[in-house]
Structure 1
Amino acid sequence: MSPPRKALIAVSSTHAPLYPEGQETGLFITEALHPFKVFKKAGFEVDLVSETGSYQPDWLSQQKDWLPDEDRAVWEDHSSEFRSKLDKLLKPSDVNPDNYGIFFASAGHASLIDYPDAKGLQADALKIYTDGGIVSAVCHGGAIFPGIIDPGTGKSIIANRKVTGFTTRGEIEEGILDTIKAWNRPTIESSAASCGATYVSPAGPWDAFTITDGRIVTGANPASAHVTAEAAVKAFGSL
């Protein structure tokens, strides 16, 4: 029996100062909104969940260069399905993972802080995976993988897989590598290596790029959210 045609998008529940004037990171809006649109278009029901049932939007993700008018209209409309589900965010205890065929970890730098310890989200992702579904992550969403341990191998579900995510070069270009170190968190490249995965870099830090390796689908950055979700749908279709 194929997994349910329903997708669960995880959202960071953390916020922290990141940008030059103290503005905070949180959920990078389009990294959840673009997959939401892709999954809906493909006929999936979609739910949104965070570890605590709360979230804060990333400051940069609300700026004009990162939130096009069409996306902004959805984001600012509290009656839109996407925004209303964000406003009434689920917690892992509200979710039955048996009902989903895709788990998608959206991001924002805040994911580096909460995803490694997000036991509820990790448990949901693992159940979807062990039931034969797809587990996907974009940008910093890959911070969740070290905690998703395959009971059969005792290793992360990305061990011996090819994955991508936000580049360390991109962190350096943004001038925030020291902040990540101050959080005592690894970069996505380091995190993947610690799991025994092979990290594959996009040509440039901001180029749209996605990799599918079995039932693991990953994307590199905000520009990759759409194509990563499309790849997750394609992988789901081949189950």
Structure 2
Amino acid sequence: MTPPRKALIAITSAHAPLYPDGKETGLFITEALHPFNVFKAAGFTVDLVSETGTYSPDWLSTTKDWLPEADRQVYEDHESEFRRKLDNILKPSDVKWSDYGIFFASAGHASLIDYPDAKGLQSIAANIYSEGKGIVSAVCHGGAIFPGIIDPSTGKSIIDGKKVTGFTTRGEEEEGILDTIKSWKRPTIEASAADCGATYVSPPGPWDAFTQTDGRVVTGANPASAHVTAEAAVKAFEAL
């Protein structure tokens, strides 16, 4: 039986100073908005969930270079479906995992902070994957959630033995924020993937659109990859 044509996009609840003048990281807007648009266009119902039912926008993701005008109009319109669902974001206790065929972890550097301990989100994803035989996907720093998404048949992360991508350590170095991540006592996505027994596949460059599919696990490298990663997740879903 094919899983339901519904997608659940996970959103980070965390926020922390990352940019100059103490500006904060949080949800990278397009990493949720672009997948939302892709899933809707493919005929999915889409819901948004975070571990605490709250979110903060990532400062950089709201700037002109990172939020194109068409996206800005949707994000700033409180009547748009995306913004309405963001303003009324669900908590894990509001969600029935069996309603969904795709779990998609959107990101922002803040994901490194809360996703590793987000037991509610991890449980939903694990059930969609193991019980529902659905797709689990993540973009950029969303892969921080994988260590806690356990396949009950192996007792290991669902990415154990799989090829995945995500934001590069080189990209962290170029942004000058590797020390900040270390201060959070969090591994980079590359290190986290290795810890899970996965093979990390690097994009051609830190900012190039790049996605990797391995069975029912679909990953993307960076903000530019959010759209193609969601498309790859839909393709994997259609192949079920």
Please report the TM-score for the alignment, with normalisation by the length of structure 2: 0.99
The C-alpha deviation readout for 1:157-176, integer Å capped at 9, x for no partner, is 00000000000000000000
Tell me the distance in 1 between the aligned counterparts of 2:199 and 2:231.
22
Contiguous gaps of at least 5 residues in structure 2: none
Corresponding residue for residue 99 of structure 2: 99
1:225 counterpart letter in structure 2: A
Tell me the distance in 2 between the aligned counterparts of 1:72 and 1:36.
14
Tell me the distance in 2 between the aligned counterparts of 1:70 and 1:121.
30
Tell me the distance in 2 between the aligned counterparts of 1:3 and 1:98.
8
Corresponding residue for residue 238 of structure 1: 239
Tell me the distance in 2 between the aligned counterparts of 1:148 and 1:97.
14
Deviation at 1:43, TM superposition (A): 0.0
Moved over 4 A (4+): none
Corresponding residue for residue 30 of structure 1: 30
Please report the TM-score for the alignment, with normalisation by the length of structure 1: 1.00
Tell me the SS of whatever aligns to 1:2.
coil
1:92 counterpart letter in structure 2: P
2:129 counterpart letter in structure 1: Y
Deviation at 1:21, TM superposition (A): 1.5
The C-alpha deviation readout for 1:106-161, integer Å capped at 9, x for no partner, is 00000000000000000000010011100000000000000011111010000000
Tell me the distance in 2 between the aligned counterparts of 1:229 and 1:149.
22
Tell me the distance in 1 between the aligned counterparts of 2:183 and 2:170.
18
Tell me the distance in 2 between the aligned counterparts of 1:21 and 1:209.
31
Tell me the distance in 2 between the aligned counterparts of 1:154 and 1:95.
24
Tell me the distance in 2 between the aligned counterparts of 1:39 and 1:97.
17
Contiguous gaps of at least 5 residues in structure 1: none
The C-alpha deviation readout for 1:166-189, integer Å capped at 9, x for no partner, is 000000000000000000000000
The C-alpha deviation readout for 1:49-103, integer Å capped at 9, x for no partner, is 0000000000000000000000000000000000000000000000000000000
Tell me the distance in 1 between the aligned counterparts of 2:108 and 2:183.
17
| Count of equivalent residues | 239
